[in-house]
Amino acid sequence: MPEPSIYFRDRIATSDDEGHRKWVFARLPKGRHTTRRHWVALVLILLFVVTPFIKVAGEPFILLDVINRHFILFGRVFWPQDTYLLGIAMLTFVVFVVLFTVVYGRLWCGWACPQTIFLEIIFRRIESWIEGSAAKQQVAHQKPKTSGWYLRRLLKIIVFASVILVAVNVFLSYFISADSMISAWRTGFTDYHRTMIAMIVMTAAGTFVYAWFREQACTILCPYGRLQGTLTDNDTIMVVYDYLRGEPRGRTKDGDGRCGDCIDCHNCVQVCPTGIDIRNGTQLECINCTACIDACDAIMTRLGKPVGLIRYASEKGISKGTKQHFTGRMAFYTTVLTGLLIFLSVLIIKRTEVETTILRTPGILFQRNEDGTFSNLYNYKIVNKTRKDINLSFKLLQPKGELRLIGNQPSVMNGASAEGVFFILIDSSMVVTHEMKIEIGLFDDGHQVELLESSFIGPMDKSKP
């Protein structure tokens, strides 16, 4: 029969020997990390709620209109033509996540993941107001269910669903815009059937997750959580138990007359939202929420011992008994992470809103005209990435000559593209080499939006006809 403390190697903490679910009744933590996490959560929730209402030049600050395949990020419009940017952004994101996790572990899970913020900081509190403390909930769970229990459970589900409904409305505003969401409610969703279906499905799914599925989203479902074992190593900063200082645990000395700082009070286990005992070492279920740090710090303070028996540290730091420092490895990875973010920002900033390509028409060299000019034929393609229709005009800037458009000046609808052809005519006296560089300006309402370069072909020997 294995010791109870090593059961964790065989199964997750929220499952019993038969594989049935063991409900977690986590006590609400208190302490400096919890206070900080609440502030971070408040800022993130505010950002989440306010962002869809922010507008830049009349357009949403962020809009992810997947159905119509157009996106606005930080006030800049992106169309399907920007797929390459999306690819680079996703690649950067993956590299960022990997490097960040290698160095800082599951900082995201504990401090910024919506699942943790909603479950641990919002819903667990609502639950304790309606159903009482974790201990009360546990006792009620083990006893036969009364009508009072069912009523409280119903009230809890209604309150959960109401909060989730608000969150889902905000979330959907990122995809159809806050204005559309408000209009959907005003018109009773008459023109927004898909939005209404999405809202109902997501609210039902959210209520199911927070009222029933809960911590299993982190321990079973989340792919990021599953990747932790491969992304972290002995140098990764995580919430860890200082076994050198804590063991042997208990209030009495062991056979060698030794007694560690851990008094085996189980406070760290009682506050753990995934039901694990951090003293068993790093486990996949640990979301690095810091609740056990605060619980243990409170005990250490009461005992008059230094806090930090459970703390942020690396496995190597604990085994060597050293304090966590900002190492060269951390500095290197952080520099790479910053570099990646700068690289992506530059790509986004440098991206032009009107993208034009000009190519000399293949198969045609040059023409000698009767008026003493040489001409080349060009094909152009303009992609309008703005949210407005634009009427553009071309002008030859370098060298002196004429740009003769075939057809009308290009008019490009928002998010669309236009193609056409034009001639460039240059006086033969200006054609000094067989192939020369030319510069063409693209103008929108007299304002130059792009400077384009191409080449102009002339004869090898001008004297020959």
Near ligand SF4 by CB under 6 A: residue from 287, 337, 383, 442: 287
- Residue 404 engages ligand SF4 in binding (rule: CB under 6 A): no
- Residue 291 engages ligand SF4 in binding (rule: CB under 6 A): yes
Near ligand SF4 by CB under 6 A: residue from 191, 254, 264, 419: 264
Cα–Cα distance for residue pair 125/167, rounded to 1 Å? 17
- Residue 239 engages ligand SF4 in binding (rule: CB under 6 A): yes
Near ligand SF4 by CB under 6 A: residue from 272, 390, 425, 426: 272
The smaller minimum CB distance to ligand SF4, of residues 169 and 274, is found at 274
Near ligand SF4 by CB under 6 A: residue from 103, 240, 263, 392: 263
Total residues interacting with ligand SF4, rule: CB under 6 A: 29
The nearest distance, CB 305 to ligand SF4, in angstroms, is: 9
Cα–Cα distance for residue pair 263/407, rounded to 1 Å? 87
Other Cβ atoms closer than 10 A to 29: 25
Stretch in the footprint of ligand SF4 (CB under 6 A) among 148-156, 159-167, 291-299, 374-382: 291-299
Stretch in the footprint of ligand SF4 (CB under 6 A) among 129-137, 142-150, 267-275, 430-438: 267-275
- Residue 382 engages ligand SF4 in binding (rule: CB under 6 A): no
Q: What region, left, alpha or beta, does residue 132 occupy, with left being phi > 0 and alpha being psi -120 to 50 degrees?
A: left
Near ligand SF4 by CB under 6 A: residue from 113, 130, 209, 309: 309
Near ligand SF4 by CB under 6 A: residue from 167, 184, 299, 390: 299
- Residue 34 engages ligand SF4 in binding (rule: CB under 6 A): no
- 């977690």: which residue's tokens? 24
Near ligand SF4 by CB under 6 A: residue from 163, 295, 426, 442: 295
Which stretches of the chain bind ligand SF4, using CB under 6 A? 239, 241, 246, 262-268, 271-274, 276, 278-279, 286-292, 295-296, 299, 309-310
